[in-house]
Amino acid sequence: MLNQFNSNFSIVPTKEEEQGAFVQRCGYFIQLFNKLPDYDKLYDWVCLELGLNPNDVRDQNRSIFYPVKTYLNDLLPKDFLNTLKILTLLRHYYSKDVEMLGIFDKKITEIMGKASVSLGIHYKSGAFFPEGEKLLDIELVEFSMTSLSRYPNEEKDLRLALECYQKQIKNGVIENCYRCIEGLVRGLLKNNSTLIDNKPTLMRSIGLSDHWRKILAAYIEYGNEYGRHASENRHQFIDAEVEAYLYTTCLLIRLLVKFKAP
């Protein structure tokens, strides 16, 4: 409705304004969970996932005159990324409840649809992703997240890389991407070696052409120098370079999950 109004009057909200509206709309949606019968259990679980002690949080909000109900909305500062975190945790909590997942996904899609301009994210299969080239997002980012379902630690690394990308924490993108590939290669080669130490074995085993081996070797060396170690030669990353490393990571995930170690 408001989208049409904005269009009629040539009003173009900024991305920041629409993200603020998204936070408010989602805040109302999150409040609805307070009324569910398992709310206390849900609240404790979300706190622990965020690294918070739920008892300490309750004590901080306790009143000597009357009990104070604690709310999910108050666990983190009310900004765009923190809202995405809370929503992601809520969906994961109900991941085995098909009916709840359907309601949740429909509501998030509805809220995102109210934005007049891009929010800088898209939502797929219960996960938020930074918005980039749509085709690449679908074929690489979403495929990678799905492929890593059997590798929870590496899935977490890729999610952290995506969060860092959204926050413009460039070194964090490189570091978490590198850690993701390192863990995946460890699993494939069934050892606990670092990625730089696993490079020779991986090069021999993966069955790629010499040109692709050079690309993979360069990726590993780049990540080891600029992500894993605080190199004296570390330079200021430009946005396109960081984005390229992120997408290359997803491309390598796509390649490695199809690889079977001998």
Choose one of 89, 119, 149: the last residue of a domain. Answer: 119
Helices (H), 114-148: 134-136, 143-147
Kindly state whether residue 19 falls inside one of the protein's structural domains.
yes
The answer to whether residues 1 and 84 belong to one domain is: yes
The answer to whether residues 87 and 152 belong to one domain is: no
The answer to whether residues 84 and 137 belong to one domain is: no
The answer to whether residues 66 and 187 belong to one domain is: no
Per-residue model confidence as pLDDT tens for the chain (262 residues): 676 776 667 777 888 999 999 999 999 999 999 999 999 999 999 999 999 998 888 888 776 555 567 889 888 888 998 999 999 999 989 988 889 989 999 999 999 999 988 898 888 767 787 776 454 566 677 778 888 888 889 988 988 888 788 777 888 899 999 999 999 999 989 999 999 999 998 888 877 788 888 888 999 998 888 766 555 555 567 778 888 898 899 889 988 887 654 4
Over 206-250, what HEC string results? CCCCHHHHHHHHHHHHHHHHHHHCCCCCCCCCCHHHHHHHHHHHH
Kindly state whether residue 128 falls inside one of the protein's structural domains.
no
Which residues are bridge partners to 130 per DSSP? Answer: 121
The answer to whether residues 40 and 163 belong to one domain is: no
The answer to whether residues 75 and 165 belong to one domain is: no
Q: Which domain holds residue 214?
A: 133-262
Kindly state whether residue 126 falls inside one of the protein's structural domains.
no
Choose one of 119, 146, 169: the last residue of a domain. Answer: 119
The answer to whether residues 143 and 106 belong to one domain is: no
The answer to whether residues 40 and 165 belong to one domain is: no
The answer to whether residues 101 and 152 belong to one domain is: no
Kindly state whether residue 194 falls inside one of the protein's structural domains.
yes
Q: In the chain, how many domains are there?
A: 2
Which helix (H) or strand (E) is 78 found in, with range?
none
Kindly state whether residue 125 falls inside one of the protein's structural domains.
no
Helices (H), 94-233: 98-113, 134-136, 143-147, 152-167, 170-189, 195-205, 210-223
The answer to whether residues 108 and 193 belong to one domain is: no
The answer to whether residues 151 and 75 belong to one domain is: no
Which amino acid does the sequence have at 255? L
The answer to whether residues 157 and 95 belong to one domain is: no
Choose one of 70, 92, 119: the last residue of a domain. Answer: 119
